[in-house]
Structure 1
Amino acid sequence: MGMKFAMEGTALADHAKRTDASSSDLGAMVLAFVQAAEPVAKSMNGPVKASFNSFKQNANMVADMLNTSLQGILNSTNEQGRAFQQHTEQASEAFSSGQAGANFDAAVARSV
């Protein structure tokens, strides 16, 4: 037996809004983590300081990559939402046009 799937018309738009908020939050959290470690860096020197600076540079790259990846997901979700909405409208129009052209009187069983 096949799986049935039902989705509200706003599901993808709602998901896109949450993803948009999450992309900003996630990138900000990575950068906040780096800022929180900054006071410790003041007491570092030599190879330890170099390692921390490397970590800091990589953290910025990770934040950018996360933001870019989540933005890609957001764009994809928006495109899916538009396609879903367009399909829903086309299906509704096709149904209405088919219903308007149907001869329901001819389909009624008549007793002979």
Structure 2
Amino acid sequence: MKEKAKPGTSAYHQPGIADARLVVWGVESSVRAYYFDTGQQAESFSQAIKEFQIATPFKIELTNAEEAVVDYDKQRVVYPPNYAEQIERKNQVYVLLEGTREQHAKIESVMRAVGRN
């Protein structure tokens, strides 16, 4: 029997679908990148998230001018430019969301149901 991952670990916050990556995590929340083939798909996804208020959209800033930080007040994640290689995949666009494990599980459940796994 597989042991349940403990809160606060990266295993606990891993996305439940292939088209998502863990960007940063805390004890009960995480920031994830959800990937899409087109900007239209990403925009539709973002609109649904806003309407249902499931999670908080974040933006990522790649710069050496600031320290790496997750800025919850300004809803942004700051990383050095070389970090882009770790979260980008091909030419796909992504939407960055912060939310609780429960919120991410709902999002990923819906994405699986509509075939975005």
- Range into which the TM-score falls when normalised by the shorter chain: under 0.3
Bigger helix share: 1
TM-score (normalizing by structure 2): 0.21
Quick check: which has more Rg, 1 or 2?
1
Bigger strand share: 2
